[in-house]
Structure 1
C-alpha cells in the first residue's frame, strides 16, 4: 500500500442472494475474504481494500452503501456479483451511493473444472450471469462507474483497479481542498478564470481570496535567523550554487535571501489557512515601494512556488486557480509513482518536421521534480509586472520520457477536462533563457495533438505528470460526471472534432432535461 494513502480505504461488496441456500452464501463470503486478502497482498494496490460483506437483499445493499457514504476513510466502493444477484435489489443502494463506484467483472475460480463441474458449481459461480444483470441496472440508473474486466489475480486487472484507487484518493483530497488566491486573474485572461461556485459543486475544490495586506502580517513575523537557515542549510546544500552567489555582501545573495523569506511567508499563510494550493500574480506583491520599506516581495515568489509544488501544494500562475486545483490532484494521485509532476505553460514552438515540438516553461515556476540534472540556483533579471528586478529561481531542463498533461476549462454549461499524451525529448542548451523548461511533442503528432487541444478550448497552462496516464483522467472525469477529451496516439483529428460537436449536443440536451 502507498503510505500517502494510509488514511483511505476501498470497500469491497459482493452480490449474492439467498435462493441457493445458506451454505452457498458462506462459500461466497469465504471466497470474497480470500480475494480481498489476495488483492491487498499483491503489492499492486495503493489503497487498502476492506471487505464490507455480502449483500443478499435490497435492505442489505442500501445499508452498506449508506455506511460507505458517511465513513470518512471509505473513498470508493468495488462491487462484484459472485452469484446471480437480482439487480432490482441494488436500485435503492445505487441511488444513494455518493462514493466512486467500480464494477469488477471477475470470477473466484480461474478455469472451468471441466471434469467435475455440476449444477452446484454453476449456481455458485455465476459472475458471467450476475455481473451483466448488475451492469444493466447501473446503465438504467445512469450511474457513473468504472468497469474492470479480468481475473482478480492477474496483474493487468489489478493495475486497472490501482489506477482507479489513486483517482479516488485524488477525488477525496479535492473534497477538502482549499486553494488561496494571492491576487486575481491577470490582464483579463479568460481561460484562467471560470465559475468557482460551479467548480466546487462538480469537483469539490474551494477557491478563496487572501488580500496581500494579510500576507504581509505573516511576512513581518518571519525571523531573520529562519531565513538564514533556509538559505544555508537547504538552498546551498540541495542545489548547485555558484560561489559568487554565496557572498552575503552581493546583490545576488540578497535576492536569494528575499526569495527564502517569501517562501517562509507563503508556507506560514498556507499552514494557517489549511490550504493545499495557491495562485500568484505578477502585479500583486505588496508595497510598491518595497525597496524602501522592505515590506513585500521584490518579485513574484518563483523559487518558493517551485519548492512548494515539490511538497504537493497546488499552484497556478497569473491567478489560474483551476490549474492550482488540478495540479494538487495531479501531484496527489502521482505519489509513489516515478518521474515527477509540474505546472507548465506552452511557451514557444520549434518547427522541425517530425520533431516539431513545444518548449514548456514559465517565467520561474516549474517543479524541480522533473529535472534531468541537479537544479541550479541562479539569480537573473525578470522584467515583468510591477517589479522589474533580478530574482532567484531553479534552472534546469526536464527529463526525457512519456507523460500526460491535463487541464480543465469552463465551457459555460459544463467543465471539460482535456488530457494529452506527450513525449519529452532532449532540449538544446538555453544559455540566454535562464528558466526551468521541458521540450515535448504532443501525441499523435504535433499537428493533430495541438489541433485537437485548441479545438477543445485547451489552456496554455497545464498540469504534467510522468507517472499518470490518460486512464487516470478518464476515471477522474467519470467520477466527477464531467466531460473528458482525451488526445493520444489513437486520436483522429476529424473524429475528435465530431465528438466535440456530439458532446455539445449531449450537454445541451442534458441541461434542458434537468
Structure 2
C-alpha cells in the first residue's frame, strides 16, 4: 500500500443545462467511458472518480467546495466536453484550494467525415469549451496544469499520472509533521519565521524536540534489531575488513545501525 491508495482525483465534466437532457445524457455516457478506461488502462497512480456534471454555477461551486473539504480528494481533472460558459466557474475556482488540471481532449480520436452533422458538432465542443475555460483560468491567474491529447494516448496518460503524483504529494504533506532536533536557536535570524512560513505555504508543522529525547529512543533499540540491520548491510554491500566482525571499526557500524533504527 502506498500514499496513493489513500487519495482519489475527481473527474469533473463541464457543460451547461441549455444542451438539454438528451445531449447531457450522452455527455455523461462519454465521461463514464473515459474514466473507466483511464482507471483500467492508463496506469495512473491513484483512482479517478467521476463527479456529477457541472452545468450551473451552483453545481460547479458545490463540487469545488466539496473537494476542498474532502481529505481523500487530491485534486480536480476538468474536461470541457461541450461549451461551458466560464463565468459559471468563477466562484468555484475562486474558492478551490486543491490542484487543478484541464484535460483538453475529444471523445472521438478522429472526425467521422461520412456522418458528421450538427448533432455531432453540438455534442463535441471541447475546442470551444476548452478555449473558454483557458481564458477564465488566465484571467483569474489560476495556477493549473493543462494536458492536451486524446484520452487513449499514452503520452497523455503519462502527463496526467505525473500531475497526479504531484497533487497527491501536496495533499499528503498538508499532514506532515517535521521534527527538528537540537534547534537551540543559536545566532537566530527569525528562525521561527521560516517555520511559520512553512506551515502557511506548505502545511508543514515544524517543531523542535530536545536531542535527549532522541537519545532515549536510540538507546532503547534492541541488540537483536541492530544485528538484523547490520546483516542486511552485509548482504547488500561489500564491507571493508575494518568494518567486518572483529574489525576495528565494527562498533561504528553497530552504532550507525542503532541510530538509523532510532
**Same fold by TM-score greater than 0.5:** yes
Q: 1:118 to 1:187 in 2, by over 3 A?
A: same
Determine helix, strand or coil for the equivalent of 2:75: strand
Match of 1:427 in 2: none
The reply to whether residue 141 of structure 1 matches residue 154 of structure 2 is: no
The counterpart of 2:249, out of the listed 247, 252, 270, is 252
Determine helix, strand or coil for the equivalent of 2:249: helix
Determine helix, strand or coil for the equivalent of 1:241: coil
Determine helix, strand or coil for the equivalent of 2:19: coil
Q: Is the 8 A contact 1:185 1:193 kept in 2?
A: no
Q: Deviations over 1:43-67 (max 9, x none)?
A: 3321211111211111111111111
Equivalences, count? 261
Which structure 2 residues correspond to residues 395-406 of structure 1 after superposition, within 5 A?
A: none
Q: Which has the higher strand share?
A: 1
Give 1:120 deviation, angstroms: 1.0
Give 1:226 deviation, angstroms: 2.6
Match of 1:236 in 2: 234
> Post-superposition, which runs of at least 4 consecutive aligned residues in structure 1 deviate over 6 A?
185-190
Q: 1:31 to 1:208 in 2, by over 3 A?
A: same
Q: Is the 8 A contact 2:178 2:206 kept in 1?
A: yes
Give 1:245 deviation, angstroms: 2.6
Match of 1:373 in 2: none
Structure 2 CA distance, aligned partners of 1:12 and 1:86?
Answer: 18
Gaps of 5+ in 2: none
Q: Is the 8 A contact 1:227 1:260 kept in 2?
A: yes
User: TM (normalized to structure 2)?
Assistant: 0.91
Give 1:172 deviation, angstroms: 1.4
Give 1:12 deviation, angstroms: 0.3
Match of 1:180 in 2: 179
Structure 2 CA distance, aligned partners of 1:160 and 1:229?
Answer: 41
Q: Deviations over 1:267-305 (max 9, x none)?
A: xxxxxxxxxxxxxxxxxxxxxxxxxxxxxxxxxxxxxxx
Structure 2 CA distance, aligned partners of 1:123 and 1:76?
Answer: 29
Match of 1:44 in 2: 43
Q: Is the 8 A contact 2:242 2:248 kept in 1?
A: no
Q: Deviations over 1:204-225 (max 9, x none)?
A: 2222211111112223322233
Q: Which has the higher helix share?
A: 2
Structure 2 CA distance, aligned partners of 1:189 and 1:210?
Answer: 17
Structure 2 CA distance, aligned partners of 1:161 and 1:171?
Answer: 15
Gaps of 5+ in 1: 266-514
Q: Is the 8 A contact 2:13 2:52 kept in 1?
A: yes
Q: Is the 8 A contact 2:31 2:50 kept in 1?
A: yes
Give 1:227 deviation, angstroms: 2.2
Q: 1:40 to 1:100 in 2, by over 3 A?
A: same
Determine helix, strand or coil for the equivalent of 2:98: coil
Determine helix, strand or coil for the equivalent of 1:54: coil
Q: Is the 8 A contact 2:175 2:204 kept in 1?
A: yes
Give 1:193 deviation, angstroms: 9.7
Match of 2:114 in 1: 115
User: TM (normalized to structure 1)?
Assistant: 0.48
Superposition RMSD on alpha carbons, in Å?
2.3
Structure 1 CA distance, aligned partners of 2:188 and 2:123?
Answer: 60
Larger RCO, structure (CA 8 Å, separation 6 or more)? 2
Match of 2:20 in 1: 21
Determine helix, strand or coil for the equivalent of 2:51: strand
